[in-house]
Chain A
Amino acid sequence: MIWRTFLVVLAASVLAQLFVAAHPSFALEALFAWNALYGFLACAALILAARALALLLKRPDDYYDDD
């Protein structure tokens, strides 16, 4: 139910683009649903980057406890 509502809101935000006067800052932004796609991909990339960093730098959370 929550998922379905969320998907409707997502779709609405994309379709709303058709009803407002466009003044994109750069040519890319003029593409249809650019911001939706970019937001999703940027977050996916950030999560992947965080996971990659975690492989190197994660430690148990009592790591510093003896200092």
Chain B
Amino acid sequence: MISHPGLVLIAAAVLMAPLRGWPRAAVALLGSASSVFLSFQAGDGVHLTIEYLGMQLAPFAVDKLSRLFAIIFALMALGGALFALNQPRRLELPAAFLYAGAAIGATLAGDLVTLFVFWELMAVGSTLVLWSASTPRAGAASMRYLMVHLFGGMLLFAGVAGHVLESGSTAFTAMGIASLPEKLILAAFLVNAAAWPLSAWLPDAYPEASWSGMVFLSAFTTKTAVYALLRGFPGVELLVYAGLAMVFYGIIYALLENDMRRILAYSIVNQVGFMVTGIGIGSEMALNGAAAHAFTHILYKALLLMSAGSVLLVTGRRKCTDLGGLYRSMPFTTACGIVGALAISSFPLTSGFVSKSMISQAAADGHLPVVWMLLAAASAGVFLHAGIKFPWFVFFQKDSGLRPPEPPWNMRAAMALLAALCIGLGIFYEPLYRLLPYAGDYVPYTGWHVVAQLQLLLFSGLAFFVMLGWLRRTLTVTLDFDWFYRVLFPALFLAAGRVLAAALGAGGAAGARLGAMLESAVRRLHGPGGAFARTWRTGSMALGVMAMLLAFLLTYYLR
């Protein structure tokens, strides 16, 4: 128990909640560092079994796949904590640690019941991270975010319950998609992976978090879903199509976006799309590629979001139309942003190259020319929307006249750490390859691979600058699936209310009386001062509960 890297983070979250200043920083850094250590140390096998309601649970089960994800999640908690040390909001860091710990708990869950528990805990932690930004927009976005994830959790609960009933086993192993429970579980995983069309929750919610909050948010939810798909649904063909849809959705929406962190949010969907495609291909190399890509992606996406978060902190601006020319006074942040941009574009000598090329290679080896071609086109598109567009419009482009300082030392240190990892893993990739679930002999650096990738990316760059006029930033948003639940459904609800009122009116006096009675009843019970809206004294609450218990006891004996 004590050596569970996720529970260590959750314990650190509880411990740091009342602290401030250096004690808090110490708990955060030591807690996450020991979580990293424990993740590396965790040996294969089931370390804990619990019997619960007649079910065998294995809340601490380790194999190569779960260890890989535990390591990267713990590393991300450490990097994120360093970056967020100067964040004055008191709730955010404990919430982020709860969130990260729950993500590790989900990856180390050997059974579906434990997975569900940590899945929900993740939703709670991430909602709190978002909500703690304490702006009206973040508050509204966090509620929409929570609704989507509670919906996903409901699907998962129904799926798990059905699956346990059907198979008689709680074990979390590879499944098919034949039965209804399996379909529900797959759907729940896809909701969290931000698969199209239910992808809008991600760019809707994450960019409303604080400058440090989004760094945490980008790492855990979607990648836990990738882990769950890797374990539960490897080689399910549907995932190839779902993944490719995500890849192109992400690129096209990111190209139209003006908010710098929303560009990066769409690009999360795009990157997770590569992983989901790899999982759908399902060969050992494809699964290795998906796992490796999740690992490298967490690092370079966090680096990109740290550079964007730094810009947000020192300038208070988030729109590309308000930014530009920041390289003059923020050369360090600019350099780190560029390293992240090169890594996400899979430039040779960066971490993205050694992971993404494995997925493409698996498509080629599996004789899937169309998938391979689409992945290549998408690689070019990644450079376009995240590799050039983000750094160009934020740090270069026109001179916005802003001359902000570099961010504080801890934020620079966190960026330096991640930038070093992005380049280090691109050059010394063997340690990462050894952590992957399957043994393989993939060689990323051949002259042909490097030249092919450089041609693809450099000519994408040419396309960007040739067509720059078509990419000019405008003060616009692009409608997405969230339009349905932000605009259409509320409008339908109001319209239904009006129709009902009209029908009651047409029903004559009786109808009107009924309507008035209903309304006054609702007012009496739920309105200001109504029985359900009052604050009750603790004493009368206790009395009420006691009366209920007595009544229960009585009916129990009289039964």
| C-alpha spacing A43/B197, complex, angstroms | 23
| C-alpha spacing A19/B450, complex, angstroms | 12
| C-alpha spacing A23/B452, complex, angstroms | 10
| C-alpha spacing A47/B259, complex, angstroms | 18
Residue numbers in B under 8 Å from A1 (CB-CB): none
Secondary structure of the B contact surface, majority rule: helix
Mask for B31-65, Cβ within 8 A of A = 1, else 0?
00000000000000000000000000000000000
Chain A residue at minimum C-beta to C-beta distance from B447: A20
Residue numbers in B under 8 Å from A9 (CB-CB): 458
Evaluate whether A59 and B477 lie within 8 angstroms (CB atoms) in the complex, with A20-B447, A20-B448, A46-B381 already known.
yes
Evaluate contact between A10 and B475: CB separation under 8 angstroms.
no
Q: For the complex formed, measure the closest distance between the CB of B512 and the CB atoms of chain A, giving whole angstroms.
A: 32
Give the number of residue pairs across the A-B interface with Cβ within 8 Å: 142
Evaluate contact between A43 and B381: CB separation under 8 angstroms.
yes
Whether a CB of chain A sits under 8 angstroms from the CB of B369 is yes
Mask for A1-28, Cβ within 8 A of B = 1, else 0?
0000010011001101101111111101
In the complex, which residues 439-472 of chain B have their Cβ closer than 8 Å to any Cβ of chain A?
A: 446-448, 450-465, 467, 470-471
Residue numbers in B under 8 Å from A33 (CB-CB): 455
| C-alpha spacing A16/B467, complex, angstroms | 26
Residue numbers in B under 8 Å from A6 (CB-CB): 461-462, 465
Evaluate contact between A59 and B467: CB separation under 8 angstroms.
no
Q: For the complex formed, measure the closest distance between the CB of A39 and the CB atoms of chain B, giving whole angstroms.
A: 4
Evaluate contact between A39 and B455: CB separation under 8 angstroms.
yes
Which one, B220-228, B250-258, B526-534, is touching chain A?
B250-258
Evaluate contact between A26 and B372: CB separation under 8 angstroms.
yes
Q: Select B460's contact among A14, A20, A42, A50, beta carbons within 8 Å.
A: A42
Q: For the complex formed, measure the closest distance between the CB of B141 and the CB atoms of chain A, giving whole angstroms.
A: 10
Q: For the complex formed, measure the closest distance between the CB of A48 and the CB atoms of chain B, giving whole angstroms.
A: 8
Residue numbers in A under 8 Å from B499 (CB-CB): none
Q: Select A21's contact among B376, B380, B448, B462, beta carbons within 8 Å.
A: B448
Mask for B465-505, Cβ within 8 A of A = 1, else 0?
10100110011111110000011001000000000000000
Evaluate contact between B459 and A53: CB separation under 8 angstroms.
no
Q: For the complex formed, measure the closest distance between the CB of B347 and the CB atoms of chain A, giving whole angstroms.
A: 12
| C-alpha spacing A67/B381, complex, angstroms | 33
Evaluate contact between B475 and A60: CB separation under 8 angstroms.
yes
Residue numbers in B under 8 Å from A45 (CB-CB): 377
Whether a CB of chain A sits under 8 angstroms from the CB of B384 is yes
Residue numbers in B under 8 Å from A22 (CB-CB): 448
Evaluate contact between B377 and A38: CB separation under 8 angstroms.
yes
In the complex, which residues 230-281 of chain B have their Cβ closer than 8 Å to any Cβ of chain A?
A: 248, 251-252, 255-256, 258-259
Chain B residue at minimum C-beta to C-beta distance from A16: B451
Evaluate contact between B456 and A36: CB separation under 8 angstroms.
yes
Secondary structure of the A contact surface, majority rule: helix
Residue numbers in A under 8 Å from B150 (CB-CB): none
Q: For the complex formed, measure the closest distance between the CB of B145 and the CB atoms of chain A, giving whole angstroms.
A: 14
- Number of A residues near B (Cβ < 8 Å) is 43
In the complex, which residues 176-214 of chain B have their Cβ closer than 8 Å to any Cβ of chain A?
A: none
- Number of B residues near A (Cβ < 8 Å) is 52
Whether a CB of chain A sits under 8 angstroms from the CB of B364 is yes
| C-alpha spacing A40/B455, complex, angstroms | 9
| C-alpha spacing A20/B454, complex, angstroms | 13
Evaluate contact between B140 and A40: CB separation under 8 angstroms.
no
Chain B residue at minimum C-beta to C-beta distance from A9: B458
Evaluate contact between B455 and A14: CB separation under 8 angstroms.
yes
Evaluate contact between B256 and A36: CB separation under 8 angstroms.
no
Chain A residue at minimum C-beta to C-beta distance from B457: A39
Residue numbers in B under 8 Å from A20 (CB-CB): 446-448, 450-451
Evaluate whether A61 and B460 lie within 8 angstroms (CB atoms) in the complex, with A38-B376, A42-B377, A43-B380 already known.
no
| C-alpha spacing A9/B366, complex, angstroms | 33
Evaluate whether A35 and B255 lie within 8 angstroms (CB atoms) in the complex, with A42-B460, A43-B460 already known.
no
Evaluate contact between A37 and B459: CB separation under 8 angstroms.
yes
Evaluate contact between A61 and B463: CB separation under 8 angstroms.
no
Chain A residue at minimum C-beta to C-beta distance from B374: A42
Evaluate contact between B477 and A38: CB separation under 8 angstroms.
no
Residue numbers in B under 8 Å from A57 (CB-CB): 478-480
Q: Select A46's contact among B384, B446, B478, beta carbons within 8 Å.
A: B384
Evaluate whether A40 and B460 lie within 8 angstroms (CB atoms) in the complex, with A16-B451, A23-B448, A67-B140 already known.
yes
Evaluate contact between B456 and A53: CB separation under 8 angstroms.
no
| C-alpha spacing A40/B384, complex, angstroms | 10
Q: For the complex formed, measure the closest distance between the CB of B51 and the CB atoms of chain A, giving whole angstroms.
A: 48
| C-alpha spacing A52/B140, complex, angstroms | 30
Q: For the complex formed, measure the closest distance between the CB of B471 and the CB atoms of chain A, giving whole angstroms.
A: 7
Evaluate whether A39 and B447 lie within 8 angstroms (CB atoms) in the complex, with A47-B384, A64-B477 already known.
no
Binding site for A on B (CB under 8 A): 140, 248, 251-252, 255-256, 258-259, 319, 360-361, 364, 369, 372-373, 376-377, 380-381, 384, 446-448, 450-465, 467, 470-471, 474-480, 486-487, 490
Please name 21 pairs of A and B residues whose Cβ atoms are closer than 8 Å in the assembled complex, sorted by A: A9-B458, A10-B459, A20-B450, A21-B446, A25-B360, A25-B361, A35-B456, A39-B458, A40-B462, A43-B463, A46-B251, A46-B255, A46-B380, A47-B470, A47-B471, A51-B470, A58-B256, A58-B476, A59-B477, A61-B258, A61-B319
Binding site for B on A (CB under 8 A): 6, 9-10, 13-14, 16-17, 19-26, 28-29, 33, 35-40, 42-47, 49-51, 53-54, 57-61, 63-64, 67
**Sample of 8 further A-B pairs with CB below 8 A, known A46-B252, A46-B377:** A24-B448, A39-B376, A39-B463, A44-B467, A46-B384, A53-B256, A61-B477, A67-B140
Which 8 A-B residue pairs are closest in the complex by CB-CB distance? A20-B447, A25-B364, A43-B463, A42-B377, A39-B456, A35-B455, A39-B459, A50-B255
